């Protein structure tokens, strides 16, 4: 052969690129698992982002479109004609001047009366004296004439004559003389001077008193603080509350808040049907309708009035059905919001709630500005109602930004989004590490090939690109499929979840670049970076080290000496030592699954525990809060219910940046059967729930604020009271009355284990029973309960996939060794006991640690979650819950063990003998 | 042959040791030799004589402590890692005792991994025929015998038509007949493509088919002979 016969060909494309596809195909089970996990996660999170973004955009647009309020307030009675215009100016009332003027007016009346009384007394005295003197003189003169005539007059006769003359003179002249004298006196300068002096003195006294009290007034009404007027437009948004009964379902009873026809503010989106047109028609909240299975055309009763439902709506100010802003949780099960026409509103017999919505004339740019406006408007409201003449009180004040009924749904979506994002990244990171471990195992397995390729002149870059291509392709495809599913299937799943909890309007699906970046770009980059770091670190080694299979970063250590265990035990220990990095991944993966599982198992368990033990938690079965403690005849309201005892109650606010939480303050009578506290204690008791939620310990000082006054209460915590049903402070009733400036012996209502039925309803403000407290748990259970069960299954699948991927690596790494022990004559069962028992033991031990870590992590997450919600109930997983978590993951592992056993059985004996490289 | 061609590969005072202190072991203790272009050079020596280390240094996958290597005038010891990679890519082909084939690429694709590195690779189909693998070109490595796998690995090394083909015990894992087949192939490649071949072996018999025989022992060259009466691979017996 000669050199001239040499023929050259074309440079082929990189065969490693073709190999990428072959790699994916040859290991399709592994990549399919990862692909599915990524698609589901990316799809769900992408769906969540798309749903959230679409819904949030709709909600934001609706603020303008449906004319959402800037806030609302409720007064004890309809505002008088002066109050609304005064409030709309946005100016604070000059409380000091008004109080001063009123005091002056009152004083003027009293001073004039006092001066006139004094003048009249003086005049009458003077007139009496003059008439007496004149009458006496006339009688004396007459008697002197008699004496000259020689007539003797005795002293008695003389006195009798004087008295008679005086009586006659008084009867004839006194009143007239007094009247004339008074007239002269009132016209005299002396009188005017005296009156003016007295007034001056009285005013001085008033000024002195007001000046002395100014600091107190200034503090209460924040008179000296910076204030910018907040002009607003105020709208009547009156409502009435009635018992809701469903004509077709006798067992149901709830509460319905019915608004008068809304025309200007807080409008609504009718999702089905039409608005009411006559007095017999009503539209109700869509969410509540779904929950109680009401539809258009059904009839409901509000008190005694029956209505036909003509539409199901989402009211812009009730995207979440919070009955009261201070409620721990919304209640779309037994609370409904509705709207009727004016004539329909008249049909309702319940008392009117003088509720007003307001709208800032100058819209705030952000929440911070909104808070300033709201604080200022509250000052306007407080001062203007304080100076109103018909003694109006503020019953409620809720600015929009702090209104849970408005903000809870978007906030929840926001936190869901954040949580979903975090879960996605943790998940992608876990998968990236699985990829990285897989890549490491692959690099170790192919060390000779890599060495040869590097020796032949392949650059590190070419090999890095090749080894990263597989995982990246999987992530890219998964991202594409995930996004497509996100925009279609999962978006609907997420919106269905939201529609199942909130009263949301109809929305339009929007392209969400953010979703694409977070669910596609970020996972790809995350995967890229983690894989790049792992692969580049290994490929930094010289080709020679690859050829020699010398891939350990550190110099090879001597074999770890093991105790004189039996052969199998030592073998297993060697398997363990050899696979420590993989077992670390097993640990991380199982911890991740356990965190998810803690939520999936713990949430329903916590709700169940709470529902079951609520009755035990309540210190009394019933608490009746009275509107007044005196009946219309002035008698103190009493109950003859056995065991009922008086108590006092006030609500204060614990302020924080995230949430102003309502705390109930109880005044407890001496020797109470329901709450046993030391009446001589130096400080107050706080409930266990309060202590836990805000990490308050004995000896700490708590600071609470009055709701609508700038007044603070500071108390030292004497002890923690074992009461988990609500956030409460307990103190002796006497201390309560002193603290809140009440009269000695005053009280707010009765607590009793027996039902109190002998107090007229008109005196009762509200009755708190275990049922009310359970609303939270019922709503949470309704919103999340069903999903949590699915979530448990998802966790098991995720656990199975993670364990599948990791045990696969461990077995692959040991394929040749397994093949060799097969040749030596070990049975598949024995081999399984060497390799699978080690992993089983690791999973077993890992599970214990992971359950603990997952539980602790979930407690932290729970705490953070509750910080945004009112109320508290501890995250509880009973022992059976832990067992369930353990069993679920171990069951997943057992399935994988079967697959692994089949894998081991399929390893051919010739593998150990074959030079495959 | 010009002076340049005669000193196509020039090794000067090459030294290499492993370890340090008491455990220091000198593997190469001043190696000097030249190899001419197109020459079939055999490095002979017992285990531990340093022949594989020498081959690895020549191939740029290991470095010397001292000394210089010039290949076609290029000084290897001056090159950084990137330079060495490019050098291997353009000028060297490697054949190892273990074939190191990519298990999920077929015969042709394995050879293409070499062809991809060259701007002007040999015609692959023609090479497959020379290698006697044309019929097996779609098979995966695990469907081939050891000898066939080694042929693929030679094909992979030679397809980019390297200036130097470095072979590290290419017949070390093969039986007599297969070894002879491989040697015949290397001989054929050397004749057809004119590559310089440096082969490490401990099989004394192979020296008979080489142009140039260098014997090493304890890190030193004991003999450096030009074989003027070389025989063909077919004629080899051991």
pLDDT (tens digit per residue) in A806-823: 888 888 888 888 888 888
Nearest Cα residue in chain A from B62:
A544
pLDDT for residue A699: 92
pLDDT for residue A99: 80
Evaluate if residue A2 carries a pLDDT over 50.
Answer: no
Residue B154 CA neighbour count, 13 Å, CB half: 32
Which DSSP category does A863 fall into?
Answer: H
For residue A891, give every residue at least 6 positions away whose Cβ sits within 8 Å of its Cβ, in sequence order, or none. A796
- Helices A404-445, A491-501: crossing angle, 10 deg rounding: 150
User: Smallest CA–CA separation between B90 and chain A, in Å?
Assistant: 7
Q: Write out the residues of chain A at the interface with chain B, using a CB-CB cutoff of 8 A.
A: 1-3, 5-16, 18-19, 22-23, 26, 446, 448-449, 451-460, 542-544, 547, 914-917
Name the stretches of chain B with pLDDT < 70: none
Quick: pLDDT tens for A567-609: 888 888 888 888 887 888 888 888 888 888 888 888 888 877 8
Nearest Cα residue in chain B from A916:
B142
Beta-carbon neighbour count of residue A424 at 10 Å?
24
Which of B113, B122, B126 shows the shortest C-beta gap to A16?
Answer: B113
User: Smallest CA–CA separation between B45 and chain A, in Å?
Assistant: 20
Domain for residue B236, yes or no? no
pLDDT for residue A463: 92
ipTM score: 0.89
Contacts of A453 in chain B (CB under 8 A): 113
C-alpha–C-alpha distance, residues A488 and B175, integer Å: 63
Domain for residue B238, yes or no? no
Listed range (A285-294, A312-321, A773-782, B165-174) with the worst mean pLDDT: A773-782
Structural domains for chain A: 12-64+407-557 (no CATH), 95-221 (no CATH), 237-350 (no CATH), 571-617+771-917 (1.20.1050), 638-758 (2.40.40)
Q: Is A74 exposed, middle or buried (0-12, 13-18, 19+ CB in 10 A)?
A: middle
Domain for residue B237, yes or no? no
Number of domains in chain B: 1
Buried b / exposed e along A557-586 (16+ C-beta atoms within 10 A): eeeeeeeeeeeeeebbebbeeebeebbebb
Which of A11, A452, A547 shows the shortest C-beta gap to B118?
Answer: A11
Contacts of A543 in chain B (CB under 8 A): 61
Domain for residue B17, yes or no? yes
Quick: pLDDT tens for A23-36: 889 888 888 988 88
Test B109 with A18 for CB contact under 8 angstroms.
yes
Test B146 with A6 for CB contact under 8 angstroms.
no
With cut-offs at 50, 70 and 90, classify the pLDDT of residue A743: confident
For residue B102, give every residue at least 6 positions away whose Cβ sits within 8 Å of its Cβ, in sequence order, or none. A19, A446, A449, B109, B110, B113, B141
Is residue B9 within 8 Å of residue B35, measured between CB atoms? yes
Among all chains, which residue has been given the structure tokens 């407890």? A668
Strands A232-236 and A352-360: antiparallel
pLDDT for residue A89: 93
Domain for residue B156, yes or no? yes
Domain for residue B99, yes or no? yes
Domain for residue B18, yes or no? yes
Quick: pLDDT tens for A110-138: 888 888 888 888 888 988 898 888 888 88
Is the pTM higher than 0.90? The answer reads no
Evaluate if residue A916 carries a pLDDT over 50.
Answer: no
User: Smallest CA–CA separation between B113 and chain A, in Å?
Assistant: 6
Domain for residue B171, yes or no? yes
With cut-offs at 50, 70 and 90, classify the pLDDT of residue A1: very low
With cut-offs at 50, 70 and 90, classify the pLDDT of residue A773: low
With cut-offs at 50, 70 and 90, classify the pLDDT of residue A462: very high
Give the residue with greater pLDDT, A518 vs A213: A518
Q: Read off the pLDDT of each residue in A840-855 and give the average, rounded to a whole number.
A: 90
Q: Read off the pLDDT of each residue in A44-56 and give the average, rounded to a whole number.
A: 86
Which of B59, B99, B119 shows the shortest C-beta gap to A917?
Answer: B99
pLDDT for residue B135: 95
* Phi, psi torsion values for B164, nearest 5 degrees: -125, 135
Structural domain including B210 reads 3-230
Test B100 with A451 for CB contact under 8 angstroms.
yes
Q: Read off the pLDDT of each residue in A388-400 and give the average, rounded to a whole number.
A: 84
Contacts of B96 in chain A (CB under 8 A): 448, 452, 547
User: Smallest CA–CA separation between B192 and chain A, in Å?
Assistant: 5
Kindly report the CATH number assigned to the domain that includes residue B61: 3.40.50.300
Which of B112, B142, B153 shows the shortest C-beta gap to A12?
Answer: B112
Test A7 with B102 for CB contact under 8 angstroms.
no
With cut-offs at 50, 70 and 90, classify the pLDDT of residue A775: low
With cut-offs at 50, 70 and 90, classify the pLDDT of residue A868: low
Tokens of A260: 């008068």
User: Smallest CA–CA separation between B98 and chain A, in Å?
Assistant: 7
C-alpha–C-alpha distance, residues A231 and A234, integer Å: 10
Is residue A647 within 8 Å of residue A668, measured between CB atoms? yes
Listed range (A257-266, A410-419, A492-501, A540-549) with the worst mean pLDDT: A410-419
């Amino acid at each position: 052969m000669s050199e001239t016969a040499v023929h050259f060909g074309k440079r082929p494309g990189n065969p490693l690129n073709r190999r990428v596809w072959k790699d994916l195909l040859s290991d399709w089970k592994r990549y399919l698992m990862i692909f599915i996990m990524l698609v589901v996660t990316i799809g769900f999170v992408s769906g969540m982002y798309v749903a959230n973004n679409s819904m949030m955009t709709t909600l934001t647009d609706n603020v303008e479109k449906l004319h959402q309020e800037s806030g609302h307030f409720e007064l004890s009675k309809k505002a008088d004609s002066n109050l609304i215009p005064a409030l709309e100016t946005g100016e604070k009332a000059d409380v000091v001047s008004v109080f001063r003027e009123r005091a002056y007016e009152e004083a003027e009346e009293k001073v004039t009366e006092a001066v006139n009384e004094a003048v009249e007394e003086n005049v009458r005295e003077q007139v009496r004296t003059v008439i007496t003197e004149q009458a006496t003189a006339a009688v004396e003169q007459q008697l002197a004439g008699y004496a000259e005539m020689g007539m003797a007059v005795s002293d008695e006769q003389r006195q009798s004559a004087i008295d008679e003359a005086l009586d006659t003179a008084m009867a004839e002249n006194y009143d007239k003389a007094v009247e004339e004298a008074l007239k002269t006196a009132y016209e005299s300068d002396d009188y005017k001077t005296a009156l003016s002096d007295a007034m001056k003195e009285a005013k001085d006294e008033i000024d002195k008193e007001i000046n002395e009290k100014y600091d107190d007034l200034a503090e209460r009404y924040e008179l000296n603080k910076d204030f910018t007027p907040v002009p607003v437009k105020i709208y009547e948004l009156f409502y009435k509350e009635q018992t809701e009964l469903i004509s077709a379902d006798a067992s149901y009873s709830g509460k319905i808040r019915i608004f008068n026809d809304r025309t200007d503010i807080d409008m609504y989106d009718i999702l089905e049907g039409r608005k009411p047109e006559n007095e017999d028609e009503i539209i109700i909240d869509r969410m509540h309708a779904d929950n109680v299975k009401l539809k258009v055309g059904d009839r409901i009763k509000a008190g005694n009035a029956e209505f036909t439902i003509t539409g199901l709506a989402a009211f812009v100010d009730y995207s979440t059905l919070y009955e009261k802003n201070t409620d721990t949780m919304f209640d779309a099960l037994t609370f409904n919001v509705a709207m009727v026409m004016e004539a329909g509103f008249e049909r309702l017999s319940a008392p009117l709630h003088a509720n007003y919505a307001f709208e800032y004339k100058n819209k705030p740019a952000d929440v911070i500005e909104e808070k300033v406006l709201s604080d200022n408007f509250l000052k306007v409201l407080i001062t203007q109602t304080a100076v109103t003449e018909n003694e109006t009180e503020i019953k409620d004040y809720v600015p929009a930004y702090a209104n849970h009924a408005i903000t809870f749904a978007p906030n929840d979506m926001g936190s869901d989004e954040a949580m979903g994002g975090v879960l996605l990244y943790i998940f992608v990171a876990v998968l990236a590490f699985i990829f990285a471990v897989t890549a490491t195992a692959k690099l170790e397995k192919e060390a000779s090939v890599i060495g040869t390729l590097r020796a032949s002149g392949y650059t590190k870059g070419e090999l890095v690109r090749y080894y990263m291509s597989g995982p990246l392709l999987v992530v890219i495809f998964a991202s594409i499929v995930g996004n497509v599913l996100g925009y279609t299937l999962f978006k609907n799943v997420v919106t269905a979840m939201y529609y199942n909890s909130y009263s949301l309007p109809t929305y339009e699906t929007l392209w969400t670049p953010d979703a694409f970046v977070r669910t596609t770009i970020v996972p790809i980059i995350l995967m890229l970076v983690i894989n790049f770091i792992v692969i580049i670190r290994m490929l930094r080694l010289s080709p020679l080290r690859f050829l020699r299979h010398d891939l350990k970063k550190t110099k090879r250590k001597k074999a770890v000496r093991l105790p004189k265990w039996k052969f199998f035990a030592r073998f297993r220990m060697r398997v363990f030592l050899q696979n420590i990095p993989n077992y670390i991944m097993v640990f991380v993966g199982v911890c991740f699954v356990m965190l998810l599982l803690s939520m999936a198992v713990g949430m329903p368990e916590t709700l169940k525990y709470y529902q079951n033990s609520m009755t035990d938690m309540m210190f009394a079965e019933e608490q009746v809060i009275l509107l007044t403690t005196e009946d219309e005849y002035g008698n103190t309201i009493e109950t003859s219910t056995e065991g009922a005892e008086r108590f006092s109650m006030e609500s204060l606010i614990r302020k924080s940046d995230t949430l102003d939480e309502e705390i109930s303050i109880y005044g407890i009578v001496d020797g109470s059967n329901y709450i046993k506290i030391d009446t001589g204690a130096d400080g107050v008791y706080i409930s266990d729930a309060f202590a836990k939620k805000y990490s308050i310990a004995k000896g700490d000082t708590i600071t609470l604020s009055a709701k609508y006054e700038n007044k603070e209460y500071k108390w030292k915590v004497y002890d923690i009271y074992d009461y988990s049903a609500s956030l409460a402070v307990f103190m002796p009733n006497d201390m309560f009355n002193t603290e809140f400036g009440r009269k000695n012996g005053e009280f707010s209502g009765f607590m009793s284990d027996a039902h109190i039925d002998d107090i007229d309803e008109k005196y009762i403000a509200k009755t708190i029973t275990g049922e009310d407290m359970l609303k939270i748990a019922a709503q949470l259970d309704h919103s999340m309960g069903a999903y949590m069960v699915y979530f448990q299954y998802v966790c098991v699948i995720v656990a199975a996939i993670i364990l599948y991927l990791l045990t696969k690596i461990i077995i692959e790494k040991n394929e040749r060794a397994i093949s060799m022990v097969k040749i030596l004559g070990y049975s598949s069962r024995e081999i399984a006991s060497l390799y699978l028992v080690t992993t089983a033991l690791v999973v077993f031990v890992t599970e214990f640690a992971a359950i603990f870590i997952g539980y602790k992590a979930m407690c932290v997450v729970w705490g953070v979650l509750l910080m945004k919600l009112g109320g508290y109930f501890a995250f509880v997983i009973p022992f059976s819950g832990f067992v369930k978590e353990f069993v679920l993951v171990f069951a997943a592992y057992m399935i994988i063990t079967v697959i692994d056993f089949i894998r081991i059985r399929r390893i051919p004996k010739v593998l150990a003998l074959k030079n495959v490289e | 042959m010009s002076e340049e061609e005669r000193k196509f590969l020039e090794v000067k005072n090459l030294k290499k040791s492993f370890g340090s202190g008491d455990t220091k072991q000198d593997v190469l203790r001043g190696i000097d030799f030249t190899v001419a272009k197109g020459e079939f050079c055999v490095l002979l020596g017992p285990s531990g004589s340093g022949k594989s280390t020498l081959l690895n240094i020549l191939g740029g996958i290991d470095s010397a402590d001292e000394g210089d290597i010039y290949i076609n005038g290029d000084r290897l010891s001056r090159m950084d890692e990137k330079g060495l990679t490019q050098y291997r890519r353009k000028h060297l082909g490697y054949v190892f005792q273990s074939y190191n084939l990519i298990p999920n690429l077929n015969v042709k694709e394995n050879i293409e991994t070499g062809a991809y590195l060259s701007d002007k690779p040999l015609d692959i189909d023609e090479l497959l025929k020379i290698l006697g693998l044309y019929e097996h070109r779609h098979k995966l490595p695990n469907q081939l015998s050891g000898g066939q796998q080694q042929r693929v690995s030679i094909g992979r090394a030679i397809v980019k038509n390297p200036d130097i083909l470095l072979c590290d015990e290419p017949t070390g894992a093969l039986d007599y007949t297969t070894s002879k087949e491989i040697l015949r192939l290397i001989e054929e490649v050397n004749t057809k493509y004119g590559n310089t071949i440096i082969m490490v072996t401990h099989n004394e018999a192979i020296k008979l088919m080489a142009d140039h025989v260098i014997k090493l022992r304890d890190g030193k060259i004991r003999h450096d002979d030009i074989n003027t009466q070389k025989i063909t691979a077919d004629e080899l017996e051991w």
